[in-house]
Amino acid sequence: MQNYHWPVTFREVYDRAVSTYRAGRQSPQTLFPPADIKSLATIGCSAQELFDFVEDFVNRGAPDYGTALLITSVRRDYFLHEQGSKPSGQIVDMDTLPSKQAVAGGLAWLPRIIVKARAKLRGEMSPDLMYGCGGDLAFLEKVDIHAADFLRFVWAAGDDDQKIIEWVQRGGGRPA
C-alpha cells in the first residue's frame, strides 16, 4: 500500500469487502483477494481484523468505517514505528484474557480491554478476538472514550495499567 494514499486504498479494500460480504462470501478466507491481503499486511492489518470490522458493520451497523479507519491508523503507526513493519509472530491466548466481569478502578471490562488493546497494537489478536467488538464499544461508550483514542492512550501508557485506569476514570482527558 502506498504510504501517502494508504487511507484511500484502505477505503477501497473495505468497500469491496462490504460488497463481497453482502454477496455471501462471509469468511476471512473468501472475502479478500490475495492482493488485498498483501496490501493490508503492509499496514499491519490482517484479513481477520478487517473481516471483523466488516462483519460487525454489516450485521450490527457498528463499528462504522470511520472507527475502523481510526483504529487501523493507530495500529498502522504502531506497526511502522514501534515494530519496524515486522509482525511480532505472537498470538494472545484467549484463556489468558481477564474475564468480562473483571473490574479495575470500579469498572467492569476495563482489565479485559486493556489487554485487548495491547494485543491489537502489537498485531497479536487471536482470530476469535476483536478489538472494537460490541462489548468493547459498549464499555467505551459508557466511559465516553473513542476506541481509537483508548488504543492510542494504551500505547502511550506502555505497561502502566494504573495510568490507564486513572485516565479512564477522569473521562479520557476530555475537557472539564
Q: What is the tens place of the pLDDT at every residue in 78-115?
A: 999 999 999 999 999 999 999 999 999 999 999 999 99
pLDDT score of 64: 96
Phi-psi group of 31: left, alpha or beta (phi > 0 → left; psi -120 to 50 → alpha; rest → beta):
alpha
pLDDT score of 172: 84
Closest C-alpha to 153, from 111, 118, 127, 125: 118
CA–CA distance, 119 with 78 (Å, rounded to integer):
11
**Helix, coil or strand: residue 118:** helix
Mark 139-166 as b/e (b = at least 16 C-beta within 10 Å): bbeebebbbbbbbbbbbebeeebeebbe
CA atoms within 13 A on the CB side of 100: 7
Task: Give how far the C-alpha of residue 167 lies from the chain's centroid of Cα atoms, to the nearest Å.
Answer: 19
User: pLDDT category, 1, cuts 50, 70, 90?
Assistant: confident
Predicted TM-score (pTM) of this structure: 0.95
- Residue listed under C-alpha cell 473468501: 30
CA–CA distance, 5 with 11 (Å, rounded to integer):
10
pLDDT score of 3: 84
